[in-house]
Amino acid sequence: MSTDERLIYLPLGGAGEIGMNAYVYGYGKPGKERLILVDLGVAFPDMDSTPGVDLIMPDISWLRERVDQLEAIFITHGHEDHIGAVSHLYSQLNVPVYARAFTANLARRKMEERGHDPLVVKTVGAWPEVTKLGPFTVGFAPMAHSIPESAGLVIDSPDGRVVHTGDFKLDRTPLVGEAFDPEMWAEIAKPGIKALICDSTNVFSKTPGRSESDLPDEITRLIGEAKGMVAATTFASNVARVKTLADAGTRAGRSVVLLGRAMLRMVEAAKETGVLKNFPTVYSPEEAKDMPRNNLMLITTGSQGERRAASAQMARGKYRGLELKEGDLFLFSSKTIPGNERGVIRIINQFSERGVDVVDDSSGLYHVSGHANGPDLEALHDLLQPAMLVPMHGEHRHLRQHARLGEAKGIPSIVAVNGMMLNLSGNRPSVLEYIDTGRTYLDGSIKIGAMDGVIRDRIRMALNGHLVVTLILDEEDEPLGEPWCDIKGLTDNGSSNAALTEVLEEDLNQFLMRAGAKTLKDDDKLEGELRRIARQSCQNEIGKKPEVTVVISRMR
Amino acid sequence: MSTDERLIYLPLGGAGEIGMNAYVYGYGKPGKERLILVDLGVAFPDMDSTPGVDLIMPDISWLRERVDQLEAIFITHGHEDHIGAVSHLYSQLNVPVYARAFTANLARRKMEERGHDPLVVKTVGAWPEVTKLGPFTVGFAPMAHSIPESAGLVIDSPDGRVVHTGDFKLDRTPLVGEAFDPEMWAEIAKPGIKALICDSTNVFSKTPGRSESDLPDEITRLIGEAKGMVAATTFASNVARVKTLADAGTRAGRSVVLLGRAMLRMVEAAKETGVLKNFPTVYSPEEAKDMPRNNLMLITTGSQGERRAASAQMARGKYRGLELKEGDLFLFSSKTIPGNERGVIRIINQFSERGVDVVDDSSGLYHVSGHANGPDLEALHDLLQPAMLVPMHGEHRHLRQHARLGEAKGIPSIVAVNGMMLNLSGNRPSVLEYIDTGRTYLDGSIKIGAMDGVIRDRIRMALNGHLVVTLILDEEDEPLGEPWCDIKGLTDNGSSNAALTEVLEEDLNQFLMRAGAKTLKDDDKLEGELRRIARQSCQNEIGKKPEVTVVISRMR
């Protein structure tokens, strides 16, 4: 082994944000490292910064240029921010995808949907089973989380053992799936952990995290006391919670109905892979319509207020023939992710208008987080005693706070955001170089770059409205008739109480009558002048400068 | 007094939402009531539903059509959601505006800014001073809130006494401004309260509200322990908080600097009206530049993450030459209003990247709410013992919960949302009729209706992008050349890897070559066909159907 071989870490997504996880590890001589990719997830668009976009994915240009160095993709668990981009970006990478059975089941469905061979997704067993690829030996060590079969990756390289936690919590009684197993992790730590790459989501939560098993009693009590129809929402992938809700409904003599495509798919995948056992009988919405309303327990998608999900549809009216009414109960067994408040509050108010009683998580009785809190992170640091700590899966503030926890314990720690390539070979993490990273948007059926101006133009049209100016010039470059204006997203009438387009056309025509031959012959100049005058005219009339498209047609 | 005279209540804004308050009271024969308006506020736009809009105001069409019945406008306090629309809508109403001195000071500044006579704003003293107008006698009874001189209105009519609380909390030690005075309110209640129209904002908070005086010790301790520069943000109108922050800075030997126009204006108004006394010396940013960094205490606008406010500018870099660095402290002495989370989190992360330590309200030590919590509302019900309760200033869920509190105590209560006209003359509130209400947007310099389609078009362009199709037809209605396409907010290249506009032009040209004379002669039909084909072609190429503007020019 040459001394200049090195172990590198490069986050392409997920470090400096919550979402869109993608972490590269490499081992080898500089520039010749053999690479593996851990997770390839998506983030979700919003109207503020990404209107019209369908999905946000990491920009994997760096990896694509080194695809011959790439051994494989390893997926820690089945949440969209870890698995969601695999099927969209697979054709650029073309390497095997490794995951545990439940995660692999989800990944294969996605691959099939996008027309890829589902068999490129390989199912691997839990630690101590390992997969050897190039210089790496990778094992999936079970971690408790809010989805079944989450795994921390144990990545062995010639430079030592790295633990990449994935998303986790220290739940000893997670109800569905494996408990956090400190003995197993102590065993894994025995040879020494070179570096711990660690989930930072809940680093600001100062009390130890609670267990999924804290919930069934309270949820059962709440549903047991309900008089009318009951509906509850949670993330479909939180199979343990879905089961808790279903069991609580069954105990109250209610028939369970699953609403929303994701809910049905997740329960199906969990049953197929043996993760979910003893789930109550599920009835269809059609069957439910013949049952007494107070004998029903609906479990729905849409805990984040998504407009098209089952919860939002029920809040607006019927969903598959089922409708909540005065005195019914709707439970959010979920936390609202920051940024989704408006959508969730909208649903609560719509239910309020229908007389439906909404119970949310404000009491803390009906939801627990899937991530390790501050004290839990410290407990893991203590258990694994890593030689260095690299916080991941967090915004900058989370990474910074997490690194502080590490430093306070004497563990060399670093805040590494997307694009910072680290050398993990030394005694403490050091920055090797800064890689250009970014975001790729799935927009309709096309992938576009975040910085290519398409979305910027959409935002500008949303803020300023849009004006089209059309002008035809004859063979002598003289205007043929007057310029024509069309508006969209602008008011019809401005301050002078005439039609806005008429005022604009008048102002543009005035300009054209004065314009010299040189201007009229020059497309760029003419377009620039027409745009400038139109914007100024709008400013005068309506106090706004719109986006302008100028179309000049010449007869010559 | 004829028996068919009646006392009516009609919310035009603020009932079913938090913001945009506007409540009408009337007394007289049906349709002939003499009217007063309580508050005329704004709501703030967001990218999701109101892109490009500057302010949201209540639609006052109903009132405008009855302006000869309107006696006056009464403003309970100076928050934008109560005062903000007065200067924008004044010219439609043209009646005197009554307010207490501090509120009137703010209102006059706004009237002057919009070119109105500031003297239409009349300053009135606190209860027991009253203003008699038509059948009404109105007094401003001091209430504690998060702005000085908030008042509950005591509205006497021939049918009895109504109390309209405005925004309030039961703070006995508010530091600046008047304490809640239970003796005064008991006195006001002695003749009997016909109806209590009551703030509902914090009805879901289950513990009694805390006092402004709970904060100075903790804030002083935090700032006393700070090593570097300190900046803190709160609502500028929370003059008591601004003073607490300034005092804490002074006690720590720091010089106070106010940043942001609103901050300077509010402190000035509070000093002018005698509300604020003993405020520390304020230094300008220019003076501050010559002082040691660790001797500075900056108090800034922008507690809600507003992009253009001082806080956001400091998070991105310098503001007026002042810059926060590694080891400095930034304090949010404020709560994030639901919907503003993204902006606030952005600032926290930007400061984190600069190494600035951000302290927010998660500990509860550095902020208290300005609104009465659930138990406080019940205490006010008990104190005033109203014959009926009409919750206001809340979303539907708040109004409903508040009405439940009332009903549980045996007080006839009703959920009345914007547009529901109530009769308060009977033994319990009853609905008289439903008035069309809505929202008016200030968009640039123009007021537009919420439902007139302008904003809908902007949202569609933001989601779908925009395509302009230009076609010229000759004297025989034959296409002169090929159609021309311009795109905005759409990707240049689609799935066939040619320029999107070329593919579109090709598809449109194919259609034109096949099109019959009948279609080519008919503008509407031709436009419809071109739009349909362009959208389908886009769907094939990029998986999106854009908004389309078709411009057909004819030579004939």
CATH (one of 3.40.50.720, 3.10.20.580, 1.10.287.3510, 3.40.50.800) for B465-554: 3.10.20.580
- Per DSSP, which regions of A247-317 are E strands? 255-259, 282-283, 296-300
* Nearest to B344, CA basis, from A101, A66, A115, A341: A341
Identify the helix (H) or strand (E) that includes residue B99.
strand B97-99
Taking an 8 Å cut-off on Cβ atoms, the answer to whether A204 and B362 are in contact is yes
- In this structure, are residues A108 and A121 in contact, taking their beta carbons and an 8 Å threshold? yes
pLDDT band at A375 (very low <50, low <70, confident <90, very high): very high
ipTM above 0.90, yes or no: yes
C-alpha angle B72/B73/B76, rounded to 5°? 140
Q: Which CATH class is domain B6-207+369-449?
A: alpha beta
The tens digit of pLDDT for each residue in A54-89 reads 999 999 999 999 999 999 999 999 999 999 999 999
Interface test with B, best of A316, A349, A448 (most B CBs within 10 A): A349
Do B6-207+369-449 and B465-554 share a fold? no
Which residues in chain B are contacts of A400 at CB distance < 8 A?
352
CB contact under 8 A, B466 and A466: yes
**pLDDT(B503) > 60:** yes
**A338 touches B: beta carbon within 8 Å:** yes
Beta strand B329-332 with B357-359 is: parallel
Average pLDDT, chain B: 97
Q: Which residue has the tokens 């139109």?
A: A534
A470 touches chain B (CB under 8 A): yes
Stretch B507-516: mean pLDDT = 96
Cβ contact B446–A348 (<8 Å): no
Contacts of B380 (CB under 8 A, 6+ apart): B165, B170, B185, B196, B198, B372
Q: Does the domain at residues A216-359 carry the CATH identifier 3.40.50.720?
A: no
Helix B341-353 vs helix A396-408: crossing angle, to nearest 10: 50
Model confidence at B1: pLDDT above 80: no
Q: What residues in B contact A465, CB-CB < 8 Å?
A: 52, 454, 457-458
Residues B495, A400: C-beta atoms closer than 8 Å: no
Residues of B in contact with A488 (CB under 8 A): 457-458, 461, 466, 547, 549
- Nearest CA of chain B to the CA of A100: how many Å? 33
Beta carbons of B551 and A444 less than 8 Å apart: no
A495 near B CB under 8 A: yes
A475 touches chain B (CB under 8 A): no
**C-beta atoms of B491 and A445 within 8 A:** no
pLDDT per position as a tens digit, B147-206: 999 999 999 999 999 999 999 999 999 999 999 999 999 999 999 999 999 999 999 999
User: Distances in Å between the alpha carbon of B257 and those of B217, B281, B282, B445?
Assistant: 21, 9, 6, 33
Which residue on chain B is closest to A491 by alpha carbon?
A: B454
Over the stretch B226-274, which tens digit does the pLDDT of each residue have?
A: 999 999 999 999 999 999 999 999 999 999 999 999 999 999 999 999 9
Whether residue A348 lies within 8 A of chain B, CB to CB, comes out as: yes
Residue B9 has pLDDT above 80, yes or no: yes
In a mutational test of the B interface, the residue from A490, A552, A554 whose CB has the highest number of chain B CBs within 10 Å is A490
Confidence band, pLDDT 50/70/90 cuts, at residue B413: very high
**CB under 8 Å to B258, separation ≥6 — which residues?**
B242, B264, B267, B282, B299, B300
Q: Residue B523: pLDDT band by 50, 70, 90 thresholds?
A: very high
Q: How many interface pairs between A and B have CB atoms less than 8 angstroms apart?
A: 182
Residue the block writes with tokens 């310099």: B445
Q: Edge to edge, what strands does the sheet with A195-199 contain?
A: A130-133, A136-142, A151-157, A160-164, A195-199, A389-392
Give the pLDDT confidence of A417-448 residue by residue, as tens digits.
999 999 999 999 999 999 999 999 999 999 99
Partner residue facing A464 (CB), from B52, B349, B544: B52
Preferred mutation among A553, A554, A555, A556 to probe B, highest tally of B CBs within 10 A: A553
DSSP secondary structure code for residue A260 in this structure: S
CA distance A33 to chain B (A): 30
Is it the case that residue B407 has pLDDT exceeding 80? yes
Interface contact B454-A489, CB threshold 8 A: yes
Kindly indicate the confidence band of residue B3, based on its pLDDT and cuts at 50, 70 and 90: low
B416 interaction partners in chain A (CB closer than 8 Å):
none
| Token duo for residue A285 | 């919405």
Task: Give residue-wise pLDDT tens across range B82-136.
Answer: 999 999 999 999 999 999 999 999 999 999 999 999 999 999 999 999 999 999 9
Q: Can you give the pLDDT at residue A359?
A: 97
pLDDT averaged over chain A?
97
Asked if residue A216 has pLDDT above 90, the reply is yes
Q: Which two tokens stand for residue A179?
A: 């408990």
Write phi, then psi, for A162 (nearest 5 degrees): -110, 140
pLDDT-derived band at B556, boundaries 50, 70, 90: confident
Q: What is the CA radius of gyration of chain A?
A: 28
- Give the whole-angstrom CA distance, residue A274 versus residue B493: 45
> Domain locations in chain A?
6-207+369-449, 216-359, 465-554
Q: Which of residues 417-446 of B touch A (CB under 8 A)?
A: 443-446
Burial profile B196-214: b = 16 or more Cβ within 10 angstroms, e = fewer: bbbbbbbbebeeebebbbe
pLDDT at residue number B497:
85
Maximum C-alpha span of chain B: 88
List chain A residues with CB under 8 Å of B91.
none
Cβ distance of B462 and A52 shorter than 8 Å: yes
| C-alpha separations of A459 from A537, A547, B463 in Å | 22, 10, 9
Query: What is the tens place of the pLDDT at every residue in A154-190?
Result: 999 999 999 999 999 999 999 999 999 999 999 999 9
Instruction: Kindly indicate the confidence band of residue A305, based on its pLDDT and cuts at 50, 70 and 90.
Output: very high
User: Is residue B227 exposed (0-12), middle (13-18) or buried (19+ Cβ within 10 Å)?
Assistant: exposed
**Single-letter amino acid code for the residue at A429:** P
In chain A, positions 152-191, which contact chain B (CB-CB < 8 Å)? none
| A131: Cα separation from own chain's centroid | 28
Which residue of B470, B472, B485, B500 to mutate against A (max A Cβ within 10 Å)?
A: B470
Q: Are strands B420-423 and B430-434 parallel, antiparallel or unpaired?
A: antiparallel
- pLDDT reported for residue A197: 98
Under an 8 A CB cutoff, do A488 and B339 touch? no
Measure in Å the smallest separation between the Cα of A331 and chain B Cα atoms.
15
pLDDT (tens digit, 9 = 90+) per residue, B222-235? 999 999 999 999 99
Partnered with residue A357 across adjacent β-strands are A329
Choose among A341, A352, A461: nearest Cβ to B461: A461
Tell me which chain B residues have a C-beta less than 8 angstroms from the C-beta of A52.
462-465, 489, 544
Subunit contact A338:B342, Cβ cutoff 8 A: yes
Q: Hey, of A397, A469, A472, which one would you mutate to test binding to chain B, going by the most B CBs within 10 A of its CB?
A: A397
- pLDDT at residue A2 greater than cutoff 70: no
Q: Do A400 and B446 touch (CB under 8 A)?
A: no
CA distance A42 to B210: 42
Whether the model pTM is above 0.90: yes
B residues 10-29 near A, CB within 8 Å?
Answer: 16
Report the pLDDT value the prediction gives residue B159, as an integer from 0 to 100: 96
- Chain A environment of B397 (Cβ under 8 Å): 348-349, 352, 358
Q: Give the model's pLDDT for residue A497.
A: 85
Lowest-confidence segment of A336-340, B372-376, B436-440, B461-465 by average pLDDT: A336-340
Residue among B276, B237, B225, B281 nearest B257 (CA): B281
pLDDT at residue A3 in the model? 61
Q: How confident is the model at residue B55 (pLDDT cuts 50, 70, 90)?
A: very high
**Contact status of B320 with chain A (Cβ, < 8 Å):** no
Q: Which of A488, A500, A540, A554 to mutate to test the interface with B (most CBs of B within 10 A)?
A: A488
pLDDT at B2 over 70: no
Q: How far is CA B127 from the centre of its chain?
A: 28
Residue of B nearest to A487 (CA): B549
Tens digit of each residue's pLDDT (9 = 90 or more) over A29-42 = 999 999 999 999 99
* Residue B313: HSE in the Cβ half-sphere, 13 Å Cα cutoff: 13
Are residues B52 and A544, on separate chains, in Cβ contact within 8 Å? yes
